[in-house]
Amino acid sequence: MATHPWWTAAVVYQIYPRSFADSDGDGIGDVPGVLTKLDYLADLGVDVIWLSPIFTSPQDDNGYDISDYRAVDPVFGKLADLDRLIEQAHDRGMRIILDLVVNHTSDEHPWFIESRSSTDNPKRDWYWWRPARDGYAAGSPGAEPTNWASAFSGPAWDLDETTGEYYLHLFSRKQPDLNWENPAVRQAVYSMMRWWLDRGADGFRMDVINLISKDPSLPDGPPIGGGPLGVAWEAVVCGPRIHEFLQEMHAEVFAGRPAPLLNVGEMPLATIQDAVLFTDPARRELDMVFQFDHVTMGPTKWDARPAKIADLKASLGRWQEGLAKIGWNSLYLSNHDQPRPVSHFGDDGRYRVESSTALATVLHLHRGTPYVYQGDELGMTNAPFTSIDDYRDIETLNHYAYDVGVRGQQPDRVLADLRKVSRDNARTPMQWDSSPHAGFSTATPWIPVNPNHVEINAETAMADTGSVWHHYRRLIELRHTERAVALGDFTMLLPDHPHIYAFTRQLDDVTLTVVANLSSSTVELDLAVGGELLLVTGGVGTDSTHLKPWEARIYRRAVG
């Protein structure tokens, strides 16, 4: 029997520490808080915990702006707390992967402080520095070295008064981009990664890792809407040396280590063809990638139209087919940057439980490794924020300021769109119980708790065998016990049906058939299915000819 990587049968649980559990009563989640919930995660059955950044940071972008890669930020605890978390997770059979943010650092990182000190500092070319555009005075409109727009609104270049030159930041102005063309930068990153693996970390989730190789000529990008700013992505996404850099990283950091690791790369705008190359085991780059094809459909900050199930099915189906023979899919519907899946793709009102479980069923039965974002196993919903003062996310605040202050949009209209897509939808505190702060903290949390925590919380869900939580537990158990879930071939059924999502997973003599009605109306099931009914959302009493709103079923048939 062929040996397959351990992570093919694993489920990863993402923790956003700031919003997970607060142990010291300051309103901010922390590493000791995560420690108190390890048994909860073990009961759910997850195999891997992915921690969003807990490193020392000014917190301009909630920890994705790192000023010390080898220290835990005091707001999250101490290095000894993280060591203890890794040890106790391992004791429970769970692994820990850390968030690797190395496309950029904080502008308060010692590397950048040195880099900006003078044009001849040894670390000057550890970052991307350029003089003003020819014919322009530094600081004048249009003087930026390129027309690139930042992902967080405004130009991607900031003038530093010390030397009169501009530095590149594809995200916040406090997140200067590292220059991976410099081999000293790469070696410093690899040394840090080895240090964490030596402390017991089991791998990394690599933030926007496909942006680390940039076209050194830094060409202008296509204009955005006829304005002065242009798109940077053509010059920075999957750049000319990206595969070289990742293969070097693998050789320098991961090769020869006895412990099984997991390394997944976040890759905005990556194509299926890119992912095949990145995840081909023979190339020794990454185990899997996070692509954005399916989560960028539906409402965005630029387009409030809802997601269509037909589009979701077509997107996931393309990726299943594209990585069927070479490579591996990561399976997710949400994370710390996305709205809640039940609000994005489901019905978070009348059919909140049903649509949460149906979406989970469809996702977890695909070929790939599923990722559960904290609270999705409870069916947590988007936040009902009514004021810009409720928001904390830099992307959201910058977008609001730009749309209202620069584009002249009506504040109510901008807020209505942000309620659907803001990253803060995923960052409200974890809902542990019905107490005033949802059991997250004894103090007022850093961001408001969703008021529906009175009904939607872990304590209530774990006591109800028909809850979203117990359905997730059963899906995870099924992946652990039925090899066809992890390794079976994927075949889409009824590809053109607007509401039914159906497919098979086949391995040797076992065929699993998944049928799900991803709509809020009863639909006719014009598909012959048979075998043992393994799992169904909404309980028993299944009508073989119809699917109730948001009903999902898994059948198993074995030949011989």
**Could you list the active site residues?**
207, 266
Contact 177, 72 (CB under 8 A): no
Question: Measuring CA to CA, which residue among 484, 495, 489 is closest to residue 527?
Answer: 495
Q: How far apart are CA 308 and CA 234, in angstroms?
A: 28
* Strand 489-493 relative to strand 203-206, pairing: unpaired
Q: Count of alpha carbons within 13 Å of 131, Cβ hemisphere only?
A: 5
Question: Measuring CA to CA, which residue among 255, 239, 241 is closest to residue 193?
Answer: 255
Q: In this structure, what token pair is assigned to residue 343?
A: 């609000």
Judging by beta carbons within 10 Å of its beta carbon (0-12, 13-18, 19+), is residue 401 exposed, middle or buried? middle
How would DSSP label each residue in 213-232? S--TT-----BSTTSS-B--
* 109-115: long-range contacts, CB 8 A cutoff, minimum separation 24: 109/66, 109/67, 109/68, 110/67, 110/68, 111/178, 111/188, 112/176, 115/167, 115/176
Q: How far apart are CA 307 and CA 295, in angstroms?
A: 9
Contact 354, 538 (CB under 8 A): yes
Q: How far apart are CA 517 and CA 545, in angstroms?
A: 12
The H or E element that residue 414 is part of is helix 411-421
Contact 267, 289 (CB under 8 A): yes
Residue with tokens 């607060």: 22
Q: How far apart are CA 60 and CA 363, in angstroms?
A: 33
Residue with tokens 């995870």: 476
Q: In this structure, what token pair is assigned to residue 502?
A: 């159906």
Count the Cβ atoms, other than its own, within 10 Å of residue 273. 10
Question: Between the CA atoms of 392, 394, 398 and 399, what dihedral angle is there, to the nearest 10 degrees?
Answer: -80
Q: How far apart are CA 313 and CA 324, in angstroms?
A: 16
Judged by DSSP in three states, 511 sits in: strand
The H or E element that residue 361 is part of is helix 352-364
